[in-house]
Amino acid sequence: MKLAIHDLLDGGTPDGAAIDAFLRDRSFPLIEDDRATFVFHGNADEVYLRHWIYGLESAQPFQRVPDTEFWYLVHELPPGSRVEYKIEVIRGDRHEWIRDPFNPNLAQDPFGANSVAQGVGYERPGWSQVDRESRAGRTEELWLHQTPFGQPRRVTMYLPARMRPTRRYRLLVVHDGGDYLRYAALKEVLDNLIHRLEMAPVIAALIHPGDRLVEYPDDPRHAAFIAESLLPALEEQYPLMPDASARCLMGASFGAVASLATAWRHPGMFGRLLLQSGSFAFTDIGHHKRGPAFDRVVEFVNAFRDAPGRPSERVYLSCGMYESLIYENRSMVPLLQTTGMAVRYEWTRDGHNWENWRDRLQAGLSWLFPGPLWMVYE
């Protein structure tokens, strides 16, 4: 297949008018089958694509068209892929990472925003966007003043539309709840899936951690906070179903570790787990190489692998194949299955980011808490 960039370059060095027309008439990155063409136009000594695809050299060099300020890079992008990136522009000793000026598609996260390249076939799910036909739930703030941390903790509560005090509801406890709201459209997802009867109505407790790198890797205070402070308070104030199968712990990255660790410390209390891109680092021999923040994670996962017990009834896992954690997450699947828990695992061509986790919510939530119109085949 002949790529569009070759049309620009086949006649030799293009003039300014040809470059301007090429940039004006197309969207970038330019996606053609399984190839993506990235461009940069401006003065630079070197230009690189900076991406987050594990196993691929993180700095991919652009080529400069001689006697111009036009730079380009043609790179493989398999169908269905979604990749976040920035462009590094080097001028002398100055290295600047910028968002792609030709690409309006951005993904937000707690550190700012990245440009996004979408392969053929990828689309943001409609159920993750505002739908005016969906009845909207509401949020309210709850404060727990007596906690194992010795300080109050705020919990944002999601209450489904048309909630009735005479009806009992399932409970979804969401680690990093504020980030799920801001970067993974969790409220819109819950509103839409519940309205469309794809998942059962839930009350969701969105927790806001202190130091998540300390509290989430099997900190006994965190498990006690969830099981002994939060859950009793919620059962006192909200009409919740009393059985474990109606309770789900959910989280991504370190939040997935916290979810599994809490259920492991309190078996039989949470019958559902939704674990996204879990930071399940472990060692079979020797030492891990992920840095000191993972020391307690490795200690927990090693202990769990030695004696997993049966912390829950049903577990949904997802992970991006462009993540460094894909090996660890895949390794968890057969281990969890040996416990007798029902396990569903999905991977996607994406990385360790909030929009990847957003895109998996329908599959996970509708399987764990199916609504009356969702047919589940085992």
pLDDT digits (tens, 9 = 90+) for 123-152: 999 999 999 999 999 999 999 999 999 999
Q: Which residue has the tokens 């906070």?
A: 225
- Structural domain boundaries enclosing 296: 126-368
What pTM was estimated for this model as a whole? Answer: 0.94
Whether residue 151 sits in one domain with residue 192? yes
Instruction: Tell me what pLDDT residue 378 has.
Output: 42
Whether residue 222 sits in one domain with residue 291? yes
Whether residue 114 sits in one domain with residue 42? yes
Residue 376, in any domain of the structure:
no
Whether residue 184 sits in one domain with residue 58? no
The encoded tokens of residue 308 equal 């997993």
Question: Which residue, 100, 118, 136, sits at the end of a domain?
Answer: 118
Q: What's the pLDDT tens digit per position in 9-19?
A: 987 889 999 99
Q: Is the pLDDT of residue 377 over 60?
A: no
Instruction: Tell me what pLDDT residue 286 has.
Output: 85
- Number of structural domains found in the chain: 2
Instruction: Tell me what pLDDT residue 1 has.
Output: 64
Residue 373, in any domain of the structure:
no
Whether residue 135 sits in one domain with residue 109? no
Residue 163, in any domain of the structure:
yes
Output the domain CATH number for residue 26.
2.60.40.10
Whether residue 276 sits in one domain with residue 314? yes
Full DSSP string of 155-207 = EEEEE-TT--TTS-BEEEEETTHHHHHHHS-HHHHHHHHHHTTSB--EEEEEE
Q: What's the pLDDT tens digit per position in 179-208?
A: 999 999 999 999 999 999 999 999 999 999
Closest CA to 282 of 260, 259, 301: 301
Q: Which residue has the higher pLDDT, 24 or 286?
A: 24
Q: Is the pLDDT of residue 376 over 80?
A: no
Residue 378, in any domain of the structure:
no
Mean predicted confidence (pLDDT) in 326-342: 97
Phi and psi based region of residue 45 (left: phi greater than 0; alpha: psi -120 to 50; beta: remaining): alpha
